Chain A
Amino acid sequence: SQQGEEDPQALSIQEGENATMNCSYKTSINNLQWYRQNSGRGLVHLILIRSNEREKHSGRLRVTLDTSKKSSSLLITASRAADTASYFCATATSGTYKYIFGTGTRLKVLA
């Protein structure tokens, strides 16, 4: 199966610091989305960036997309303990209706 990969697998930071996680994928895409998952619960959508966009902001989130490198990054600024969760990228492959999720980054924000 084609899997995206997040990097790092785990990240531990202090409250107030910024957290950056990266996602690489293998196919041509229509868009890339980031999701958050709290401890085995359902995923919650954070942000979507289309293949013709390079950067997008939403509150404390900043997402970049480099289609030439097939990679994306998610930056969470001024992190809070409540940001502790796993973060996944998901890509919608061009020409198909398939979603491919990455393996996730586990973020721990220490108060």
Chain B
Amino acid sequence: EAQVTQNPRYLITVTGKKLTVTCSQNMNHEYMSWYRQDPGLGLRQIYYSMNVEVTDKGDVPEGYKVSRKEKRNFPLILESPSPNQTSLYFCASSFGTGTEAFFGQGTRLTVV
């Protein structure tokens, strides 16, 4: 089954404790991206990757890191999480920006 898998689905952590949210896709997509969703603000793109070892900033990259060492995986790293990073996070993949994107089920992160 074609899918984008995020883990964990829910995470509560403390300020400053490094964390990684994993994202994996099984559709051989070149393009992967991360979004955060906050009430009233819709989805905002954090980082995206056009292919292995090629990443670039979206609209809200501050406080986040990503890597794309393999085509199927695109982890999101929060080196020192802060309460303003409490949000619902989505990973998505596609063959490019001109094609349908597939979304993961989301990771609800709370930073206290």
A interface residues, Cβ below 8 angstroms from B: 1-4, 30-31, 33, 35, 40-45, 48, 50, 88, 90, 92, 97-104
Contact = CB atoms under 8 A, between A and B. Distances in A.
Contacts, number: 75
Contacts of A3: 41-42, 44
Contacts of A101: 35, 42-45
A43 B103 contact: yes
A24 to B, nearest CB: 13
Interface centre among A48, A88, A97 (most CB of B within 10 A): A97
B-side interface mostly: strand
19 contacts: A1-B60, A3-B41, A30-B98, A40-B88, A40-B108, A42-B105, A43-B90, A45-B100, A48-B100, A88-B42, A90-B43, A92-B98, A97-B50, A97-B97, A98-B58, A98-B59, A99-B48, A101-B42, A103-B40
B11 to A, nearest CB: 15
Contact of B103 (A31, A44, A50, A103): A44
Contacts of A4: 42
A104 B60 contact: no
B64 interface: no
B31 interface: yes
B27 interface: no
B104 A42 contact: yes
A30 B44 CA distance: 19
Contacts of B48: 97-99
